């Protein structure tokens, strides 16, 4: 009896490595089974995360719905455009899920749907937004080597939701922004074979056999616009104050038709009025956009970048797993974790403290990824410090550097550096980047860059670096481009300052990279061998970035060709005359319908809107998803303003320079009517990135019921748009203002907007764009705020 009790008194962590010398008893067998089960669960979870991030969400869905094991050969036929070496990373995950399915497959809770999951690197799969699941779109011929077990029976998959809904709307065609209508009988289902054994232990599921697909029915949502990329010249005209805001026509003073909206997303009927763009085939050989080595990142739409990021993760995973000795298994490399939603903590007193918060927080507070004081110091150093010998190498005086940081923190911008020493300014800049909570190259991707220059062969490093840059948060990549721009300016004067590209890489690398052994490196008097190797790899990486700065931020033609048919369609704006051609009144009717959609949306108040905290507690920020295939959210900003609605509308239309700090120039292109005009404006960007220009048709109405005013804007093309160099055309899918009277001369300000700023991922928009609208609302709010200072009056 004592022996039996001793056998069951067994406690050991599942993380303990198995020792073959342990006696195999019942408790030991149970522990090994539990350990294998736990390892399989972890592998399955990590594999599903990677599949979603790399553009294969359909396989993650199949595993969660217990449709594994699958035929890996079918997955290869689904992606003929990918190289076999790249597909090995996909096969490794599918094989792991096949093993996990045989060991411990259980129904998994599906994560919350996001816009990122509606994109796959295969045209054989389509995302059904109404059912929120993936299904096949066509038949793939099975290979000659496929063998089906004799005891297998043919099963056709159909979800319960698919049976209950006879008309499934909004079936997205993989980022092509087409919405089709299909009946349940016409839907294409996934045919697979399985054994008659218990479902948990079935084998040999074939994902390539599908039922025949019926013809696609007519498109529900008609295309209403297109946005073409053009180069433009800076226009100095900005005198808009003399133009008077006119009132709308008398017959517009009527009650608009009202309808209920979906509680979670904007209804399909109104999708067209929150998106006036149309997709066209992406051009890869244009005159201005495409360089010899590829297409610049800043010229791509958010939908294109969404697909390219998935391809970049797939290619980078293949390189890392193939060449890095410590990461051959693929399960130790946790790169997909950085793609998870990053919750930026709220920093107190962030308006006055900008030098010790992450770049994302700086962007959300100021509208720029770099504090303006740091931008001004870099420009001053370029203008006045290039002739200083040993710049960025010789140290400054600690007390003066600290005083300089306080001055930049307090003043914020318009700082006079003429009385400062160049070495102090240079040291202050290095310290700022070194002390960031999140390094410029990010704490996770710093390790990836170092791995590339330690193990990846030189002929593949450029591709690996480009892939890693695509995985960086956009604000970090833009700051990196700014740093490289100024470092190269200083390197051009190497004959005078003795700071060539190699010397600058040695001095500046510690400020941009986050070393894994950073803490031990600081504590020890001398670094060990591994730390020295990491430092050398980081210096080589920065030197490589400087030498290839001319094209390293371009997307290669190879990437564009591989993604050509997978959501890589560009977005263009139609000519004004072509806007609203499906309506009787043309663009006038379209703008009226947009105004009606705005009023219907406001009537629903907060239904379906997700609230987001911002740096301005008196301004409300929220968002809602729009099911139209364009991976951008609809943002809403609400605020109370101490001015009547007509004055607020005048400030929005004629005084943009007051509330938009980044406005470069603005001009009315054409006056279409008393309350409609084509408006063109340019917004600044951090150097060396091009400015962003927008051309919109906007209509305002100041005679709505109860004194309400409305402004509706959307992007169009016009032949009189000035040609501005070093700019990229942004896309205003929708911009709607509604100003309601609040009593006592106050107004309730509401702004709904969807804007593709070009060159930025959907993730950037999800995290930051709403906060930029909050900044604009705060500036409009403060511009009307009455001053209460002065002597107290006697009553």
Span 684-697, pLDDT tens digits: 999 999 999 999 99
> At residue 57, does pLDDT exceed 60?
yes
Phi, psi of 195 (to 5 degrees): -75, 165
Those residues whose C-beta lies under 8 Å from the C-beta of residue 147, and which sit 6 or more positions away, are none
Bigger pLDDT: 562 vs 773: 773
Those residues whose C-beta lies under 8 Å from the C-beta of residue 778, and which sit 6 or more positions away, are 616, 619, 639
The CATH class for the domain spanning 346-437 reads mainly alpha
Give the integer Cα–Cα distance in Å for 180 and 178.
6
> Which of the four pLDDT bands, split at 50, 70 and 90, describes residue 5?
very low
Phi, psi of 740 (to 5 degrees): -110, 140
Q: What is the pLDDT of residues 435-456, one digit of tens each?
A: 999 999 998 899 999 999 999 9
User: Which overall architecture, per CATH, does domain 299-341+439-562 show?
Assistant: Orthogonal Bundle (1.10)
Place of tokens 């990373």: 89
Per the CB < 8 A criterion, the answer to whether 597 and 270 are in contact is: yes
Give the integer Cα–Cα distance in Å for 628 and 143.
36
Q: Can you give the pLDDT at residue 261? A: 37
The pLDDT of 505-512, averaged and rounded, is 95
User: Nearest Cα to 680, choosing from 226, 243, 235, 231?
Assistant: 235
> Which of the four pLDDT bands, split at 50, 70 and 90, describes residue 35?
confident
- Residue range(s) in the chain whose domain bears CATH number 1.10.555.10: 299-341+439-562, 346-437
Phi, psi of 665 (to 5 degrees): -160, 160
**Packing angle between helix 474-491 and helix 501-512, nearest 10 degrees?**
150
Give the integer Cα–Cα distance in Å for 320 and 322.
6
Place of tokens 């205003």: 732
Ranges of beta strands (E only) in 97-190 are 125-128, 133-136, 152-156, 167-172, 179-183
> At residue 86, does pLDDT exceed 50?
yes
pTM for this structure? 0.79
- Residue range(s) in the chain whose domain bears CATH number 3.30.530.20: 250-281+571-783
Give the integer Cα–Cα distance in Å for 666 and 771.
23
**Helix/strand/coil for 642:** coil
**Helix/strand/coil for 711:** strand
Q: Which residues of 510-545 are buried (b: 16+ CB within 10 A; e: fewer)?
A: bbbbbbeebeebeeeeebeeebeebbebbbbbbbbb
**What CATH number has the domain spanning 250-281+571-783?**
3.30.530.20
Q: Can you give the pLDDT at residue 763? A: 93
**CA atoms 394, 398, 400, 404: torsion sign:** positive
Q: Can you give the pLDDT at residue 347? A: 59
Q: Can you give the pLDDT at residue 142? A: 44
The four Cα atoms 119, 121, 122, 123 give a dihedral, to 10 degrees, of 50
**Helix/strand/coil for 29:** helix
> Over the chain, what is the mean pLDDT?
76
């Amino acid at each position: 009896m004592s022996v039996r009790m001793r056998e069951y008194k067994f406690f050991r962590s599942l993380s303990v490595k198995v020792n073959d010398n342990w006696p195999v008893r019942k408790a030991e067998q149970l522990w090994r089974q539990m350990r294998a089960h736990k390892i399989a669960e972890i592998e399955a979870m990590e594999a599903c995360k990677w599949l979603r991030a790399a553009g294969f969400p359909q396989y993650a869905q199949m595993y969660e719905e217990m449709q594994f094991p699958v035929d890996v050969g079918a997955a290869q036929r689904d992606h003929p455009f990918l190289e076999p070496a790249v597909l090995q990373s996909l096969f490794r995950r599918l094989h792991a899920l096949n093993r996990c399915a045989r060991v411990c497959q259980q129904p998994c809770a599906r994560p919350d749907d996001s816009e990122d999951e509606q994109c796959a690197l295969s045209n054989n799969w389509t995302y059904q937004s109404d059912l929120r699941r993936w299904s096949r779109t066509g038949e793939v011929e099975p290979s000659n080597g496929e063998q089906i077990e004799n005891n297998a029976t043919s099963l056709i998959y159909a979800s319960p939701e698919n049976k209950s809904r006879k008309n499934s709307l909004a079936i997205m065609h993989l980022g092509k922004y087409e919405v089709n209508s299909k009946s349940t009988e016409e839907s294409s289902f996934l045919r697979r074979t399985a054994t008659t054994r218990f479902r948990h232990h079935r084998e040999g599921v074939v994902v390539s056999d599908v039922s025949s697909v019926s013809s696609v029915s007519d498109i529900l949502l008609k295309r209403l616009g297109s946005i073409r990329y053009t180069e433009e010249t800076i226009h100095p005209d900005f005198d808009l104050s003399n133009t008077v805001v006119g009132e709308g026509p008398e017959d517009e003073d009527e009650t608009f038709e009202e309808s209920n909206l979906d509680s979670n997303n904007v209804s399909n009927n109104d999708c067209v009025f929150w998106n006036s763009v149309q997709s066209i085939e992406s051009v890869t050989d244009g005159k201005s956009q495409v360089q010899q080595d590829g297409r610049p990142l800043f010229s791509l739409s958010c939908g294109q970048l969404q697909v390219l990021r998935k391809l970049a993760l797939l290619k980078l995973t293949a390189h890392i797993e193939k060449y890095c000795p410590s990461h051959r298994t693929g399960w130790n490399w946790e790169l997909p974790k950085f793609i998870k939603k990053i919750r930026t903590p709220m920093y107190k007193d962030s308006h006055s403290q900008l030098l010790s918060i992450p770049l994302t927080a700086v962007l959300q507070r100021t509208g720029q990824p770099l504090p303006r004081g740091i931008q001004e110091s870099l420009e001053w150093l370029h203008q006045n410090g290039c002739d200083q010998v040993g710049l960025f190498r010789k140290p400054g005086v600690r007390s003066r550097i600290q005083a300089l940081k306080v001055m930049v923190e307090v003043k914020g911008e318009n700082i006079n550096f003429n009385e400062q020493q160049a070495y102090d300014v240079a040291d202050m800049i290095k310290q700022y980047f070194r002390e960031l909570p999140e390094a410029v190259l990010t704490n996770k991707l710093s390790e990836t860059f170092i791995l590339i220059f330690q193990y990846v062969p030189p002929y593949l490093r450029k591709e690996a670096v480009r892939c890693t840059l695509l995985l960086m948060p956009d604000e970090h990549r833009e700051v990196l481009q700014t740093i490289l721009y100024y470092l190269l300016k200083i390197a051009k004067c190497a004959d005078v300052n003795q700071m060539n590209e190699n010397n600058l890489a040695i001095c500046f690398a510690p400020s941009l990279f986050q070393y894994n052994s950073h803490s031990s490196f600081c504590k020890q008097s001398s670094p060990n061998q591994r730390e020295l190797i990491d430092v050398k790899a980081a210096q080589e990486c920065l030197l490589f970035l400087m030498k290839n700065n001319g094209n390293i931020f371009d997307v290669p033609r190879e990437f564009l060709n591989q993604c050509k048919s997978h959501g890589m369609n560009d977005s263009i704006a139609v000519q004004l005359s072509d806007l609203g051609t499906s309506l009787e009144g043309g663009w006038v009717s379209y703008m009226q319908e947009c105004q009606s959609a705005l009023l219907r949306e406001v009537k629903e108040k907060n239904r379906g809107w997700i609230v987001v905290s911002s740096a301005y507690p008196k301004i409300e920020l929220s968002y809602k998803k729009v099911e139209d295939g364009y991976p951008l959210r609809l943002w809403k900003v609400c605020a109370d303003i101490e001015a009547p609605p007509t004055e607020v509308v005048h400030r929005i239309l004629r005084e943009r320079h007051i509330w938009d700090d980044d406005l470069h120039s603005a001009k009315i292109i054409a006056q279409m009517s008393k309350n409609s005009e084509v408006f063109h404006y340019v917004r600044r960007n951090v150097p060396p990135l091009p400015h962003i220009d927008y051309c919109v048709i906007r209509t305002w109405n100041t005679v709505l019921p109860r004194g309400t005013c409305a402004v509706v804007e959307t992007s169009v093309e016009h032949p009189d748009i000035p040609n501005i160099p070093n700019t990229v055309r942004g896309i205003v899918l929708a911009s709607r203002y509604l100003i309601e009277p609040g009593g006592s001369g106050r107004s309730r300000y509401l702004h709904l907007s969807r804007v593709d700023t070009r060159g930025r991922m959907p993730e950037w928009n999800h995290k930051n764009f709403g906060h930029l609208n909050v900044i604009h609302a705060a500036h409009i709010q403060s511009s009307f705020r009455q001053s209460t200072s002065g002597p107290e009056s006697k009553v």
